[in-house]
Chains A and B, each alone.
Chain A
Amino acid sequence: MVTTAIGPSMAVDLGGIRMRNPINTASGTFGNGIQFEGFYDVGATLGAITCKGVSAVPWDGNPAPRLAELEGSAIMNSVGLQNPGVRGFVDRYGTYLQGLRDKGCQVICQVAGHSVREYVEALELFEELAPFASGFEINVSCPNIAKGGAAMGATPEAAAEVMSALRPLTKRPIVVKMAPHDVAQIGRALEAAGADALSLINTIPGMAIDVRTRKSRLARATAGVSGPAIHAIAVRMVWECAQAVSIPICGIGGVSSGADAAEMILAGATAVSVGTANLYDPTCARRVVDELTQWVREQGADDVNDLVGAFDA
Chain B
Amino acid sequence: MSTTSQYDFEVMTNEQVAQDVWCMRCHTDLAALLSPGQFVNIQVPGNAAHVLRIPLSFSRTDAKARTLELVFAVVGEGTRRLSAMQAGQTSTMVGPCGKGWQLPTRKGRALLVAGGVGLPPIVACARMLTQAGVGFDAIVGAQTSDKHVDYLLDELRALAPCEGCDCARKVLVTTDDGSRGIRGFTTAAMRNMLAEHAYGTVYTCGPQPMMAGVAKLAASAGSDCQASLERMMGCGFGACSCCNVALASGGYALCCTDGPVFDAKEVAW
- Per the bound structure, the CA–CA distance linking A79 and B53 in Å amounts to 19
Minimal beta-carbon separation of A139 from chain B (angstroms): 14
- Per the bound structure, the CA–CA distance linking A38 and B41 in Å amounts to 15
Interface 0/1 of B224-268, CB less than 8 Å to A: 000000011111011111111110001110000000000000000
Minimal beta-carbon separation of A68 from chain B (angstroms): 7
Q: Does A82 contact B (CB under 8 A)?
A: yes
Question: B239, A276: Cβ atoms under 8 Å?
Answer: no
Minimal beta-carbon separation of A67 from chain B (angstroms): 4
Stretch at the interface among A24-32, A113-121, A176-184, A199-207: A24-32
Interface 0/1 of B48-62, CB less than 8 Å to A: 111111000000000
Question: A67, B233: Cβ atoms under 8 Å?
Answer: yes
Given A29-B239, A35-B239, A38-B3, CB of A67 within 8 Å of CB of B232:
yes
Nearest residue (CB) in B for A68 is B232
Nearest residue (CB) in A for B53 is A280
Nearest residue (CB) in B for A82 is B241
Minimal beta-carbon separation of B204 from chain A (angstroms): 19
Nearest residue (CB) in B for A217 is B232
- Per the bound structure, the CA–CA distance linking A279 and B242 in Å amounts to 11
Nearest residue (CB) in B for A71 is B49
- Per the bound structure, the CA–CA distance linking A41 and B241 in Å amounts to 22
Q: Does B94 contact A (CB under 8 A)?
A: yes
Instruction: Assign chain B's interface to a size class.
Output: 20 to 34
Nearest residue (CB) in B for A29 is B240
Minimal beta-carbon separation of A34 from chain B (angstroms): 6
Question: A64, B51: Cβ atoms under 8 Å?
Answer: no
Q: Within 8 Å CB of B5, what residues of A? A: 38-39
Q: Does A167 contact B (CB under 8 A)?
A: no
- Per the bound structure, the CA–CA distance linking A280 and B91 in Å amounts to 13
Q: Does A228 contact B (CB under 8 A)?
A: yes
Q: Within 8 Å CB of A281, what residues of B? A: 43
Question: B242, A66: Cβ atoms under 8 Å?
Answer: yes
Q: Within 8 Å CB of A34, what residues of B? A: 1-2
Q: Within 8 Å CB of B239, what residues of A? A: 29-31, 35-36, 278-279, 282
Interface residue ranges of A4-46 to B (CB < 8 Å): 28-31, 34-39
Q: Within 8 Å CB of B52, what residues of A? A: 69, 75, 279-280
Q: Within 8 Å CB of B50, what residues of A? A: 69, 71, 73
- Per the bound structure, the CA–CA distance linking A139 and B5 in Å amounts to 30
Which of B6, B48, B51 sits near A69, CB closer than 8 Å? B51
Given A31-B238, A38-B4, A69-B51, CB of A82 within 8 Å of CB of B252:
yes
Q: Does A148 contact B (CB under 8 A)?
A: no
Q: Within 8 Å CB of A66, what residues of B? A: 232, 241-244
Interface 0/1 of A282-304, CB less than 8 Å to B: 11000000000000000000000
Q: Within 8 Å CB of B231, what residues of A? A: 64-65
Q: Within 8 Å CB of A74, what residues of B? A: 51
Minimal beta-carbon separation of A150 from chain B (angstroms): 18
Interface residue ranges of A248-299 to B (CB < 8 Å): 276-283
Question: B242, A276: Cβ atoms under 8 Å?
Answer: no
Q: Within 8 Å CB of B51, what residues of A? A: 69, 73-75, 227-228, 276-277, 280
Nearest 6 Cβ contacts at the A-B interface: A31-B239, A67-B242, A38-B5, A279-B235, A67-B232, A279-B234
**Contact sample, A vs B, 12 pairs, CB 8 Å cutoff:** A29-B239, A35-B4, A35-B235, A35-B237, A38-B237, A61-B252, A64-B231, A66-B244, A67-B240, A75-B51, A279-B52, A282-B94
